[in-house]
Amino acid sequence: MRLLKPLAALAFSLALAGAARAETVKLGVVLTFSGVNAEYGEQIMRAMDLYLKLHGSELGNNKIEMIKRDSGPPTGAGAKTDVTELITQDHVNLLIGFIFSPDAIASAPVVTEAKVPMIVVNAGTAWITNLSPYIVRTSFSMWQSGYPMGTYAAKTLGCNTAAVGYTDYPPGKDELDAFKTGFEGAGGKVVDAIPMGNPVQVPDFTPFLQRVKDEKPNCFYVFVPAGVHAAALVKTYAELGLKAAGVRMIGPLDIVQDTKLQQMGDAAIGLTTIGHYAADYDNPANKAFVKAWHEAYGANAPPDFMAVAGWDGMAAAVHVIKVTNGKLEPDAVMGALKGWSFDSPRGHITIDPTTRDIVQDEHIQEVVKLPDGKLGEKVIETMPAVKDPCKELKVGKCGS
């Protein structure tokens, strides 16, 4: 009986030690919450909140405190200021977000200097992960779509000639280089490359698409940064009758974003794109994800590729908190992220330990009308476990 007292004391002190071990991790969230692209920030935020609601218990005693900042217009300036303040004033342990490439690019030197790990959940310019050893990406590289689609367009879609249209900023230029390298390497010829405005405002696409119609290439490969840009693009494609004129529009998944697909109407039917996610994907993780999404946000609010990258980004954050037990020493965080793999709604993903970039399946898919009258994506072909071709080929800035 005399043992009971010391045992009770031991149990009490262990409980205290356990309680003391609980950490609050400060997560700096940098997303676009204003302007024409505000819906992207909302979509990613919804995904991160949903992940925490459903998987927050995996944190054990540890907690996440999110400090959110609006990166504003995608020039890089707002995000850089946000990141600097989040690090120096809020003392965040980890950064997450970065929809637009200029925002990630401008923030890279700051996170390198401060050694604060940064999880990129959208920005797709291939060489972003080369800019800092503290950057990891859970979204995509533009080369994961542009390069294989270039090859596919020349070899399988029968495009001998193509024009390329792109929003004129780093990911657009990267997508052009990626498509051109794949397409011309497979025997095609890019006959025109058309810069089509900037991501801050949606241009009138008419002059660009009329130019393509007049040039009559077999295919028109287009990158625009999703959302309202994609909706306007497909509308103009239909209005100018490019399809009837024999010009087939193709592109990365950004031009048929799930959140915009239904409003595009029949004009979108037949669009062939390459991508790593569509809300229709038939795998158990996606079925569960889409169900939870509709329960949380309504039957008419689909998730999309941005939502999935936010979901996977938060899964990565929870993973590092578990592995480090909430002590986010920068090199331990990066160690936990390198080689991390996860059953995402998009399929199985891995973070390449060498490049810190995502490895994922890419699918050639086509917009079809489903039996219920809605538009959906039919997967035509899958390219498994695609590593960023820009880094594999060591092209341009990816070579450094």
User: Binding residues for ligand PHB, per CB under 6 A?
Assistant: 99-101, 122-125, 171, 225-226, 254
Sign, Cα dihedral of 10, 12, 17, 18: positive
Q: 209-232: string of b/e by CB count within 10 Å (b at 16+)? A: beebbeeebbbbbbbbbbbbbbbb
CA distance 229 to 198: 10
Query: Cβ–Cβ contacts within 10 Å for residue 369, how many?
Result: 13
CA distance 220 to 387: 25
Q: How far is the CB of 103 from ligand PHB (least distance, A)?
A: 8
Q: How far is the CB of 286 from ligand PHB (least distance, A)?
A: 20
CA angle 141, 143, 147 (to 5 degrees): 155
Nearest to 135 by CA among 112, 102, 106: 112
Q: Give the residue at shortest CB distance from ligand PHB.
A: 225
Question: Which CB, 60 or 203, lies closer to ligand PHB?
Answer: 203
Question: Which CB, 99 or 194, lies closer to ligand PHB?
Answer: 99
Nearest to 102 by CA among 38, 171, 165: 171
Q: How far is the CB of 30 from ligand PHB (least distance, A)?
A: 13
CA distance 95 to 85: 12
Question: Which CB, 93 or 236, lies closer to ligand PHB?
Answer: 236
CA distance 214 to 195: 17
Contact in structure between 315 and 55 (CB atoms under 8 Å): yes
